[in-house]
Amino acid sequence: PDGMLNAQSIIKKWPEYKETSLISLPNLSRYLNINSLSIKHEGDRFGLGTFKALGGRYAIEQLLKNGDLQKGDTVTCATDGNHGRGVAWAAKNLGLKAVVYMPSHVSLERSDYIERLGATVIRINGNYEDALKECTNQSNKQKWVLISDTATNEDVSVPRLIMNSYSIIAEEALNQMGS
């Protein structure tokens, strides 16, 4: 809980932070025969169309704060699209370089978007796990900092930071529902 509360406190201080909308779905709730149903609309989060911008930015900021990253360093990740978008955006805004690994089957639209954010995109034949494996190998070889949202047996610290940042979505929703 302390990690989540810390993440929420820090994220609320970001200049571009604002709560995303909670949208009520009364027709669907009637159809499902439940009292109410609402969804969070994360499409407006930082103009990136994904809640995953929270995780990459928060994790990278914490690594910078702790001295595990320096301005000008390279961060890397594997993605099918959204996590890479968030990491590329964070790197651009925090003075870092980003290398993003993607499976080759992912749409060019997704990789182009990440490249427009300043990241280098490397497409890998295979699936997400293949992209993550190559990303991890190159990260170790090149001394890049891996910003993975997937926990491994070796290290869960960055994925934990990322997951803590996502707790702000639930906190926002609870506040918006008046809980």
Question: Which residue's structure tokens are 């994220």?
Answer: 11
The answer to whether 133 is a known catalytic residue is no
CB 158 within 8 A of CB 139: no
Instruction: Please state, in angstroms and rounded to a whole number, the distance separating the CA atoms of residues 54 and 29.
Output: 29
Catalytic residue among 40, 80, 97, 130: 80
**What's the sign of the alpha-carbon dihedral 63, 145, 53, 166?**
negative
CB 54 within 8 A of CB 168: yes
Residues with Cβ within 8 Å of 175's Cβ and at least 6 positions away in sequence, in order, are 19
The answer to whether 80 is a known catalytic residue is yes
How many whole angstroms from its chain centre is CA 72?
20
User: Active-site positions?
Assistant: 52, 80
